[in-house]
Chains A and B, each alone.
Chain A
Amino acid sequence: MTPVDGSPARDRSPVVEFDVYQHDSMAGSNAAWAAVREECPVMWSPRNGGHWTIAGYEDVAAVFRDWETFSSERTDPERSSVSIGAANIPLLIPEEIDPPRWKPLRRILAELLSPNAVERLRPRVEHWVTHTIDQFIERGEAELAHDLSVPVPSLVTMEWLGWPAEEAAGAASVFHDMAKFQHGTPEYAAGAARFQWLMEQVSKELVARRESPRDDALTAIALYEVDGEQLPQEVAEAIVFMTIGGGVDTTTALTSAALVHLGTHPEDRQRLIDDPSLIDSATEEFLRFYPPARTHARTVTTDVEFAGCPMHAGDRVLVSEISANRDESAFPDPDTFDIDRFPNRHISFGVGIHRCPGSHLARLEFKTSIREVLRRLPDFVLDQDAVVEYPNWSVIGGWGSIPVTFTPGPRS
């Protein structure tokens, strides 16, 4: 190869034909990532537009932390900068913004979702979990994705935003309905149409809050000022959109993962029933073992050697939370689900400046949902043959259907 402009040859190596979009099941995706870690934890893949692939824990954490070298800033208006290959995704704020612009945009969500702010939401989370279980508890059967793990985060998030209650459940489930179906199916197209509708509603609600403020997160975002000025309408919209698009189906996927796990691992279920205080360490292990956000992406800002590989400004980088979480150099016996695991510094909420500001809310929703399932339908039996996974596990992993039967109980 000939050097370009005096820079080192574009000898991107090693090169492996790795296509993350071929990951069409959880087991298949996990096995593919295990092979990458084993054979080539940092490599160039020509697929999906070409990108570096980073699989080891230390390297993934290093990329997430070094935002100056590995930027999140949107470069192509049509394509997400923070997931590989994803086209037509609206800009995510603050995720696709680098410092210094990032800081004040992050701050509004850090305030609205801080540990103390989330603690104040606890009664509402408990209310919605109870309400949601009440809808099916007398039936003795349920489809727990549709009946529990989808509605709880939807209702909590939309009420926190200040959404009209009648529309809350339908609005937030858009992302689940799109993730659940293959591109090109009529069901996916229906989801996409509702997505457009949701975007228009976000816009309308924000305008309405500017005119008549209320005590809700939509108002706080609509009226939030940076350097004495309210956020431009499209920035406020992108922030709200990110809390729905980034916060709802991820929490759904984590809850679904735990329900499927507890439905297939009676010994773990029994331990959590016998000692509910194990939920804290169990939650971190569910996050490590079943990361809802499986991969993210960055863009290299300057020519750099990383882990011995020559990276060039403009190169795309795929970082794998799922692979980092299964790296045996960071987690002893990584393929064993261990309720007591400690320490458990998984990457499922990211690390570095963009790490998830919704983590406190997500943990509260998740723990409340699982605690109440184990209290109110502790004997649920999973119809394992009828469990349906999402069709693609490249970016988000989750479940489309989790049918169960149980001893009916009273509404509360």
Chain B
Amino acid sequence: MRITVDTEACTGHALCLANAPDVFVLDDLGYNVTPAGEVAPELEEQARRGALSCPEMAITIEE
């Protein structure tokens, strides 16, 4: 699984972090700065929940 964050669309709700604390990295202001990349298999479920929780739909998942 691969995740990409659209940093233009992210407005810092931080719900991705609440749902996937081991996947997403936020900067000091609470905006998502996770680099695009592969997700470890054991974190895939977290990553999916994180992406689904984002009100800006800023996170894309490719399975």
List residues of chain A with CB under 8 Å of any chain B CB. 65, 107, 110-111, 114-116, 280, 342-347, 349, 351-353, 355, 357, 359-360
The total of chain B residues at the interface (CB under 8 A) is 17
B29 to chain A minimum Cβ distance, whole angstroms, is 4
State A347–B52 Cα separation when bound (angstroms): 14
7 CB contacts below 8 A, A to B, read A116-B28, A342-B52, A344-B53, A345-B57, A353-B11, A359-B13, A360-B30
Taking chain B's interface residues, is the majority helix, strand, or loop, or is none over half, making it mixed? loop
Contacts of B54 in A (CB 8 A): 345
Contacts of B52 in A (CB 8 A): 342-343
Contacts of A351 in B (CB 8 A): 11, 55-56
Q: Which residue of A lies closest to B9 (CB)?
A: A65
List residues of chain B with CB under 8 Å of any chain A CB. 11-14, 17-18, 26, 28-30, 49, 52-57
A342 touches B11 (CB 8 A): no
Contacts of B29 in A (CB 8 A): 107, 110-111, 114
A68 to chain B minimum Cβ distance, whole angstroms, is 14
State A346–B28 Cα separation when bound (angstroms): 24
For the complex of A and B, 8 pairs with smallest distance between CB atoms: A343-B52, A345-B55, A110-B29, A114-B30, A115-B30, A115-B14, A355-B11, A114-B29
B12 touches A110 (CB 8 A): yes
Contacts of A345 in B (CB 8 A): 53-55, 57
Contacts of A111 in B (CB 8 A): 28-29
State A344–B26 Cα separation when bound (angstroms): 21
Contacts of A347 in B (CB 8 A): 55
State A115–B33 Cα separation when bound (angstroms): 14
State A61–B12 Cα separation when bound (angstroms): 16
